[in-house]
Amino acid sequence: MKHIFKKILKSNPITFYFYKKVKAVRKFFVSVELLDLFPLYKLFLILRVKQYTLLSYKRLSFLYDTAGRLNFNKIQGDFVECGSWNGGSGAIISSLIVDRKVWLLDSWEGMPEAGVEDIKVKSKKVIGEKGMALSSFEKANLLLFKKLKLNPHKVSLIKGWFEDTIPTLKDKIEKISLLHLDCDWYESVKFCLENLYDKVMPGGYVIIDDYGSWSGSKKAIDEFLRERERAKCSII
């Protein structure tokens, strides 16, 4: 019956378009926890940035709560995100800064070519041509500074490949309280951890988006933690 109903909907492009929209809205609100309906600023902020990110509501909500927790606990250090896509997740953490800066890093030319370690966990296939997940620097700029009107002196968009940009930022970023890695591939994750982790303050957080999705990301994190033996901050 469900299959027949969907077939009928597909026969009319306009009806099917609205069906998909309603389905997407329903899926979004089903994922919203009841308690999240009360801090309305958080809910409305996530709704505003949702089209600029590939992260789910729960992941965005967790980023928001973590940034707020760091402010409440007065943990010093900037917020740094490696892999910002169109700026949605970066907008979440940037909206909560008080006396710190936010650094949002991305090539804005898509992802680098995947290595042999980078296998999709569920399909067991290497998926990753150079340039996939193409994002837009202009869209990120529009969201952060035009729509949300964030302070460009507090929020910096750093365009380029991590191996080119991160070395130039080492002297500018003295302390990190939140390091958010959404860079998928083994080489990218390993490079970011090796070059930025030592700046994360005790009580800070390292949030890694792709540990359960890409084998290369998982391998990079596991290797790094074995080398360091004990984490001084929370790695999630």
Residue pair 160/152 in contact by the 8 Å Cβ criterion:
no
- Note down the domain range covering 225: 31-235
Hunting for tokens 């998928």 — which residue is that?
184
Q: Distances in Å between the alpha carbon of 3 and those of 6, 8, 26, 116, 120? A: 5, 9, 19, 39, 29
Question: 57 lies in a domain?
Answer: yes
Question: 9 lies in a domain?
Answer: no
* Total Cβ atoms within 10 A of residue 231: 12
Question: 150 lies in a domain?
Answer: yes
Indicate the number of domains in the chain: 1
Question: 61 lies in a domain?
Answer: yes
Question: 51 lies in a domain?
Answer: yes
Q: Give the residues of the chain that fall short of pLDDT 70.
A: 1-38, 116, 119-134, 229-235
Hunting for tokens 């084998």 — which residue is that?
215
Find the CATH number of the domain harbouring 172. 3.40.50.150
pLDDT at position 192 is 97
Question: 2 lies in a domain?
Answer: no
pLDDT at position 98 is 86
Question: 16 lies in a domain?
Answer: no
Question: 5 lies in a domain?
Answer: no
Q: How far apart are CA 37 and CA 105, in angstroms?
A: 31
